Structure 1
């Protein structure tokens, strides 16, 4: 058990390293223009929504965009109302990562890693090094995903993990709790979903149980923004709270639709990991688009719940 656990933690570390490298590479490519885009294209809720989606897709980290948004609200560059659209958009942009990690690159992973490393170490130009870091990050993600799949079956033979899997398959509330806690601990919803995909591939988790973990991951990912808002002003705190409340609302609705939702996503793909990736996309797209027309009401409700007079 000890050896398997160490290997499992190594693969989690590799996945998080891959996320960091990819995020860093994409940030190098976009430079400080990303911050300028966020500031410039947030005049309406729709602009804020599209900016949040595109910026998150470019940076491959909803947590990074939320930290940036909380910071911009704290310094007065963005208003709380503008941040709501960014939050909704970032939830959609973050789903690209889960779609990426379902790709089967096979023997292409090692050449990708080598090409990325050569660009990082031998190309001094910003664009070359940015592409190199992105390639190294992607290669690490795919290596980690292979590791999750290979370790899933040996881990499931351990009594503790076996009981955890059985409990998750029996109780979707437990699955939501697991997804929330694991994501809060490792600070990556993509890594949590990737781990669930590994168990799904080996048919150790059912698709509805995987969706329950996915729903929990959407709540757990809010911890980063909450931490970033500590010590900030009222509107910055409200931005972090809104991220949490919106995700809780979406999870609360979909929790009662897990079985029909699983039936729907299973029609779009035959592989269980791809089904879970599609579930992540559909969940976030439906929740965000449904909430977008009501940004003014959401703002009013957040002020009301947190006992703050709306001065706008």
Structure 2
């Protein structure tokens, strides 16, 4: 019971750290990001690169999707103009996964302490630049604190009967891992946090690399829930944007799913540590999935529109 409570506490630290970090990097959010979007939507490749940059800096593909869906819902841009950005967000989202594999535990206290000092200085001097530095340092400190906590709790959590049974089952049944990753990410609204939890179990030798890959594939589907929620009650074009994000991830997972064992064997050559192996696979999966679709951005858009019309006729 205590392990579960601490798990929730570290999860709160992780999500709070992500939010603080995003606020610290807010120079590219809001009106600034919107103006950049307008400059990039005239060509899918430019939009693709913008999606990578926006998501990498904001540390959240969900945040970028919400902003883009808001622009589409307001009639400022069209669904077709968002396809490149959607493809780029999947790659940008892997930056956080790579970041949390770094072993910077000794910097946790200096980061959080430095963040507090910059916060006080920024508040007294009324300097937004200092407050942003505070957000970046504090956010990173909380991220590494939570990752350290996940690692320490992995073994105690595995003694919980439900967790133990799920881990054992997903080690031999890949679909259970995909489903588990989807549900976990949909609940906590963060594929990065889900990846961190999965990595902690892998580092404790409780999950195989193949099972970790299955969970990561599921996390890519689960992260679509935020976009779907943002498009609820919005216009048709906004819904198409959310649907495109779902289709991209579902098709990518379907393409990789039969080759989980093969991918596991390849990923083992990427690095010696399990968390790095998984982070590198996540990067490869998202890069391959997005680049494979990019040359066919227009046909992909038509496919999303056709599938939406088919579903609407059924209802």
Q: CA deviation at 1:155?
A: 1.2
Can you list the C-alpha shifts for 1:199-222, whole angstroms capped at 9, x where unaligned? Answer: 000110000100100000000000
Structure 1: distance between partners of 2:33 and 2:132: 15
Distance apart, 1:28 and its partner CA = 4.1
Alignment of 1:189-268 (within 5 A): 189-268=191-270
In structure 2, what is the Cα distance between the partners aligned to 1:28 and 1:82?
23
Which aligned runs of 4 or more in structure 1 are off by greater than 2 angstroms? 28-32
Is the deviation greater in 31-40 or in 162-171? 31-40
Distance 1:49 1:14 in 2: 31
Distance 1:114 1:108 in 2: 10
In 2, Cα distance between equivalents of 1:29 and 1:65 = 11
**Unaligned stretches of 5+ residues in structure 2:** 311-315
Aligned residues: 307
Pick from 252, 276, 279: which aligns with 1:277? 279
Aligned partners of 2:230, 2:162: CA distance in 1, in Å?
A: 34
Match of 2:313 in 1: none
Residue 118 of structure 1 and its aligned partner are, at CA, apart by 1.2
Q: Is the 8 A contact 1:17 1:140 kept in 2?
A: yes
| Gap change, CA 1:175 and 1:90, over 3 Å in 2 | same
Matches within 5 A, 1:91-106: 91-106=90-105
Please state how far the C-alpha of 1:29 moved relative to its aligned partner. 6.3
Aligned 8 A contact 1:28 1:126 in 2: no
Partner SS state of residue 78, structure 1: coil
Give the C-alpha shift of residue 102 in structure 1.
Answer: 0.5
Aligned mates of 2:217, 2:120 — CA distance in 1: 39
Q: Is the 8 A contact 1:175 1:216 kept in 2?
A: yes
Structure 1: gaps of 5 or more residues? none
Task: Tell me if structure 1 keeps the 8 A contact 2:48–2:86.
Answer: yes
Q: What is the CA RMSD across the aligned residues, in angstroms?
A: 1.1
- Preserved contact between residue 29 and residue 126 of structure 1 (Cα < 8 Å): no
TM-score by length of 1: 0.96
Counterpart residue number, 2:39:
40
CA contact (8 A) 2:20 2:135 kept: yes
Partner of 1:57: 56
Cα distance, 1:158 vs structure 2: 2.2
Judge conservation of contact 2:44–2:81 (CA < 8 Å) in 1: yes
* Structure 2 Cα separation of the partners of residues 243 and 106 of structure 1: 35
In 2, the alpha carbon distance for the partners of 1:94 and 1:131 equals 21
Q: How far has the Cα of 1:236 moved from its partner?
A: 0.5
Match of 1:8 in 2: 7
